[in-house]
Amino acid sequence: MRRIFLFLMILVLGACNDSDDNGTTVVPVEFLGELDWVKSFGGSGEDTAQSVIQTSDGGYAVLGYTNSTDGDLVEKALNVNDYWLLKFDLDGNLEWHKTYGGSKDDRGQSVIQTNDRGYAIVGYAMSDDGDGSNNEGFHDNWILRLDASGNILWEKSFGFSGHDHSYDVVQTSDGGFFFSGFLDVTSSGGEGNTGKNPYLTRHGVGEFWGTRLDANGDLIWRRYFGGTNNDRSFGVVEANDGGLVMVGASESDDFDISNSKGSYDFWVVKVTAKGEMLWEKSFGGTGIDKAYAIVKTQDNAYAIVGNTFSIDTDISKNNGESDVWLIKVSDMGELLWEKTFGGTAFDAARGLGNTSDGGFVIAGNSKSLDGNATQNMGENDLWIIKTDSEGNVLFEKSFGGADLDFGFDALEDKSGNLVLVGESSTAFSPEMEHQGSTDLVILRIK
Summarize pLDDT for 217-252 with one digit per residue, the tens. 999 999 999 999 999 999 999 999 999 999 999 999
DSSP 115-129: TTS-EEEEEEE--SS
Give yes or no for residue 143 having a pLDDT over 50: yes
**Tell me, which fold does domain 35-445 have in CATH?**
Neuraminidase (2.120.10)
Give yes or no for residue 322 having a pLDDT over 70: yes
- In three-state secondary structure terms, 8 is coil
What ranges do the domains of the chain cover? 35-445
Confidence band of 142 (pLDDT split at 50, 70, 90): very high
**pLDDT digit string (tens) for 336-372?**
999 999 999 999 999 999 999 999 999 999 999 999 9
**pLDDT digit string (tens) for 107-125?**
999 999 999 999 999 999 9
Q: Report the chain's mean pLDDT, rounded to a whole number.
A: 93
CA nearest neighbour of 194 among 225, 233, 163: 225
> What's the confidence (pLDDT) of residue 293?
98
Give yes or no for residue 169 having a pLDDT over 90: yes
Name the DSSP letter for residue 327. E
> What's the confidence (pLDDT) of residue 378?
84
Name the DSSP letter for residue 346. B
Q: Can you tell me the distance from the alpha carbon of 121 to that of 98, in angstroms, rounded to the nearest whole number?
A: 12
Q: Which helix (H) or strand (E) holds 201?
A: helix 198-201
- In three-state secondary structure terms, 199 is helix
Span 145-172, mean pLDDT? Answer: 98
Confidence band of 20 (pLDDT split at 50, 70, 90): low
Give yes or no for residue 173 having a pLDDT over 60: yes
Give yes or no for residue 438 having a pLDDT over 60: yes
> What's the confidence (pLDDT) of residue 202?
77
CA nearest neighbour of 261 among 249, 278, 247: 249
Give yes or no for residue 23 having a pLDDT over 60: no
High-pLDDT (> 90) share of the chain, %? 87
Give yes or no for residue 262 having a pLDDT over 60: yes
Q: Can you tell me the distance from the alpha carbon of 95 to that of 68, in angstroms, rounded to the nearest whole number?
A: 20
Q: What pairs with residue 381 in β-bridges? A: 366
Q: Can you tell me the distance from the alpha carbon of 191 to that of 186, in angstroms, rounded to the nearest whole number?
A: 9
85, 97 Cβ separation under 8 angstroms: yes
Span 370-395, mean pLDDT? Answer: 95
Confidence band of 13 (pLDDT split at 50, 70, 90): very low
Confidence band of 198 (pLDDT split at 50, 70, 90): confident
337, 330 Cβ separation under 8 angstroms: no
Compare 23 and 275 and report the one with higher pLDDT: 275
Span 258-262, mean pLDDT? Answer: 94
pTM of the model: 0.94
Give yes or no for residue 11 having a pLDDT over 60: no
**pLDDT digit string (tens) for 66-76?**
999 999 999 99
Span 136-143, mean pLDDT? Answer: 96
- Which stretches of 195-294 are DSSP H helices? 198-201
High-pLDDT (> 70) share of the chain, %? 93
**What's the order of all strands across the beta sheet hosting 35-41?**
35-41, 439-445, 418-424, 405-412
> What's the confidence (pLDDT) of residue 201?
77
> What's the confidence (pLDDT) of residue 10?
29
Span 378-391, mean pLDDT? Answer: 96
Compare 19 and 283 and report the one with higher pLDDT: 283
Give yes or no for residue 203 having a pLDDT over 90: no
